[in-house]
């Protein structure tokens, strides 16, 4: 059953307010990293403990976005609260959240190099260590799907099943990324464009050399479980 605005209690309201602020701030990273043009692209976040998500309104300029303009929807894509109409990709974001309970954030961009790969319907091969680290292999291509319903979301979920990649290139369209939260999904979108550009340039000068699968596994394992600040048994972070 869809939640109604008047049914949101104080604790849940605090979570929604925090996520509106976070999602609004994360949107600024898309134009800052050259991932979007004009009003294209969107970020959403699942509301923890509720069948709700916060998503960008449709068609607003990035510089005009505010926490209050973020739209609260249920996981069927229906608006629960918000002054504006939500993103045209809302149905697909909702589909991902319903079918991937591990996902806490979804991002969509039309970043130039990655979208060029999608226009060729070609996966980005894992030929640099940054890809092995972040994606655990190639970045796959999903099917062509029209915008406006759940079709893109279905393609995202089906394509990423069995993949370690948090990114998919939807054919003739652009990039969708997922993450444990919205910030992780934005990071994946930034990294997708970075590696798409690098591998494109490598191919301009010759055939890139693949990384052996065993080495990809080792790099991914290290990056996932060793790299950065990892909590120790006593709760102290270790490098």
Structural contact between residues 168 and 108, judged by C-beta atoms closer than 8 angstroms: no
Strands 141-142 and 167-170 come out as: parallel
pLDDT in tens, 126-174: 999 999 999 999 999 999 999 999 999 999 999 999 999 999 999 999 9
- Enclosing domain of residue 128: 5-226
Note whether residue 235 is domain-resident.
Answer: no
Q: What distances in angstroms separate CA 42 from CA 36, 60, 63, 202, one per listed residue?
A: 9, 11, 14, 29
What is the spatial distance between Cα 14 and Cα 8, in angstroms, rounded to a whole number? 10
CATH number of the structural domain spanning residue 152 = 3.40.225.10
Would you say residue 102 lies in a domain?
Answer: yes
CA distance 108 to 113: 14
Does residue 40 lie in a domain region? Answer: yes
How many domains is the chain built from? 1
Contact 193, 111 (CB under 8 A): yes
- The pLDDT, as a whole number, for residue 234 is 57
**237 is a domain residue:** no
Q: Please check whether residue 131 lies inside any domain of the structure.
A: yes
Q: Is there a domain that residue 116 lies in?
A: yes
Residue 12 lies in a domain: yes
Q: What is the pLDDT of residue 239?
A: 42
What per-residue confidence (pLDDT) applies to 1?
A: 47
The pLDDT value recorded for residue 73 is 98
Residues of the chain below pLDDT 50: 1, 236, 238-239
Q: Sort 170 into a burial class: Cβ within 10 Å, 0-12 / 13-18 / 19+.
A: buried
What was the pLDDT predicted at 235? 55
Q: Is residue 29 part of a domain?
A: yes
Tens of pLDDT, residue by residue over 173-186, are 999 999 999 999 99
């Amino acid at each position: 059953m869809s939640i109604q605005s008047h049914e949101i209690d104080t604790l849940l309201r605090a979570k929604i307010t925090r996520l509106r602020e976070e999602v609004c701030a994360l949107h600024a990273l898309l134009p800052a990293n050259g991932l979007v043009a004009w009003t294209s692209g969107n970020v959403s976040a699942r509301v923890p403990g509720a069948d709700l998500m916060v998503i960008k309104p449709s068609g607003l300029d990035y510089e005009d976005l505010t926490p209050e303009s973020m739209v609260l929807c249920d996981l069927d894509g229906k608006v629960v609260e918000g002054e504006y109409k939500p993103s045209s990709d809302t149905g697909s974001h909702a589909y991902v959240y319903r079918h991937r309970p591990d996902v806490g954030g979804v991002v969509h961009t039309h970043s130039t190099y990655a979208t060029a790969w999608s226009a060729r319907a070609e996966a980005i091969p894992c030929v640099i260590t940054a890809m092995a680290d972040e994606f655990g292999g190639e970045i796959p291509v999903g099917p062509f799907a029209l915008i406006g319903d759940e079709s893109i979301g279905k393609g995202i979920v089906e394509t990423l099943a069995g993949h370690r990649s948090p990114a998919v290139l939807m054919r003739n369209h652009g990039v969708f990324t997922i993450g444990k939260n919205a910030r992780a999904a934005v990071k994946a979108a930034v990294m997708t464009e970075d590696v798409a550009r690098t591998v494109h340039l490598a191919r301009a000068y010759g055939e890139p050399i693949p990384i052996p699968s065993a080495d990809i596994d080792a790099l991914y394992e290290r990056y996932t479980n060793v790299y950065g600040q990892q909590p120790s048994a006593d709760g102290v972070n270790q490098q």
